[in-house]
Amino acid sequence: MEHTYLLQQANATQDSIERMKCVAAFAVSAVASQWERTGKPFNPLLGETYELVREDLGFRLISEQVSHHPPISAFHAEGLQQDFVFHGSIYPKLKFWGKSVEAEPKGIITLELLKHKESYTWTNPTCCVHNIIVGQLWIEQYGNMEITNHSKKKLCSLYGKWTECMYVVEPAAFEAHKKSDKKTPEEKKNKSGGEEQEEVPSPSTDTVQMIPGSQLLWRIAPRPPNSTQMYSFTSFAMQLNELHKDMEGLIPPTDCRLRPDIRAMENGDIDHASEEKKRLEEKQRASRKNRSKSDEEWKTK
The pLDDT value given to residue 139: 86
Contacts of 94 (CB under 8 A, 6+ apart): 101, 102, 103, 104
The Cα–Cα gap between 286 and 294 comes to 13
pLDDT of residue 285 exceeding 80, the answer is yes
Residue-wise pLDDT for 38-62, tens only, equals 776 688 999 999 999 999 999 999 9
Contacts of 223 (CB under 8 A, 6+ apart): 36, 232, 233, 234
Which of 72-76, 92-96, 196-200 is predicted most confidently? 72-76
Q: Decide: helix, strand or coil at residue 127.
A: strand
Q: Between residues 279 and 295, which one has the greater pLDDT?
A: 279
Q: Decide: helix, strand or coil at residue 157.
A: strand
For residue 283, name the pLDDT band (cuts at 50, 70, 90): very high
Residue-wise pLDDT for 193-237, tens only, equals 444 666 766 655 568 889 999 999 999 888 899 988 888 888 999
For residue 186, name the pLDDT band (cuts at 50, 70, 90): very low
pTM equals 0.61
pLDDT of residue 267 exceeding 80, the answer is yes
Least confident of 70-79, 163-172, 182-191, 257-266: 182-191
Enumerate the β-bridge partners of residue 88.
75, 109
The Cα–Cα gap between 121 and 117 comes to 14
Residue-wise pLDDT for 95-129, tens only, equals 998 889 998 888 899 999 999 999 999 998 898 99
The pLDDT value given to residue 74: 96
Q: Which among 188, 196, 187, 34 has a CA at the least distance from the CA of 99?
A: 196
Least confident of 25-29, 176-180, 222-226: 176-180
Q: Decide: helix, strand or coil at residue 24.
A: helix
For residue 150, name the pLDDT band (cuts at 50, 70, 90): confident
Q: Between residues 81 and 180, which one has the greater pLDDT?
A: 81
What is the arithmetic mean of pLDDT over 123-142?
Answer: 87
> What is the amino acid identity at position 296?
E
Q: Which among 263, 244, 256, 284 has a CA at the least distance from the CA of 62?
A: 256
Q: Is the peptide bond before 212 cis (omega within 30 degrees of 0)?
A: no
What is the arithmetic mean of pLDDT over 236-258?
Answer: 90
Count of beta carbons in the 10 Å neighbourhood of residue 139:
19
DSSP secondary structure string, 12-53? H-S-HHHHHHHHHHHHHHHHHTTTT------PPPTT-EEEEE
Q: Between residues 10 and 156, which one has the greater pLDDT?
A: 10
Over pLDDT 90: what percentage of the chain?
47
Count of beta carbons in the 10 Å neighbourhood of residue 267:
10
pLDDT of residue 63 exceeding 90, the answer is yes
The pLDDT value given to residue 151: 78
The pLDDT value given to residue 179: 83
The pLDDT value given to residue 41: 65
Give me the half-sphere count of Cα atoms (radius 13 Å) on the Cβ side of residue 125. 20
- Helix axes 16-32 and 5-12, enclosed angle (nearest 10): 170
The Cα–Cα gap between 96 and 91 comes to 16
Contacts of 37 (CB under 8 A, 6+ apart): 139, 231, 232, 233
For residue 192, name the pLDDT band (cuts at 50, 70, 90): very low
Residue 232 Cα distances to 130, 163, 238, 280, angstroms: 17, 13, 9, 25
What is the arithmetic mean of pLDDT over 81-85?
Answer: 95
Count of beta carbons in the 10 Å neighbourhood of residue 69:
8
Q: Decide: helix, strand or coil at residue 103.
A: strand
Considering the chain, what is the average pLDDT of its residues?
87
